[in-house]
Amino acid sequence: MAGVLIIAAASAVLMVIHLFRVETVTAVGNPLIPIFASRLMIAAARLTLLFAGVFVVLSILVHMRRGQWLTAVGPFKVSEAARRLAARYEETRKKLRAANARNRELAGTVDDLHTTVKTLRNQVRRLEDLLERGRPGG
């Protein structure tokens, strides 16, 4: 920030020096031309632009340092929306982890059921074989 202020002060000094080197403008028909073309008016406009630029730069730096940069744009609060988005992200992330855990649990249950069905099919086949052997005439 000190560098910005030093540059602004140096520019102001250069403008004041240049103020006395510029030739005067004579009025040719319009009395406003000498007023707006005068050294004093030009210097005032330059200083106004310089200090407006310094103000903008310094205010941006201060907002960035405080962490307030782009917290509000018109009626839209960026920080509030970002907080809600982060909360929704965390909630969705928790739900996704829970759903993945449930999915793994269900996959294990399906594997167990598949094994049980195979075992039951084998037992049914053995019982059918025993019944076929135990029938008269078979």
Contact 38, 24 (CB under 8 A): yes
Model confidence pTM above 0.85: no
Q: What is the pLDDT along the chain (138 residues), one digit of tens a residue?
A: 677 778 777 877 777 776 666 566 565 677 667 667 767 777 778 888 888 888 888 888 887 787 766 666 555 666 777 788 889 999 999 999 999 999 999 999 999 999 999 999 999 999 998 888 877 655
For residue 61, what are the CA distances in angstroms to 41, 69, 79?
30, 9, 18
Domain boundaries, given as residue ranges, for the chain: 2-69, 77-138
Eight-state DSSP code of residue 77: E
Q: What is the pLDDT of residue 54?
A: 86
Would you state the pLDDT for residue 71?
Answer: 62
The confidence score (pLDDT) of residue 93 equals: 96
Please report the pLDDT score of residue 138 as a whole number. 53
**DSSP output for 55-69:** HHHHHHHHHHHHT-T
pLDDT number for residue 47: 81
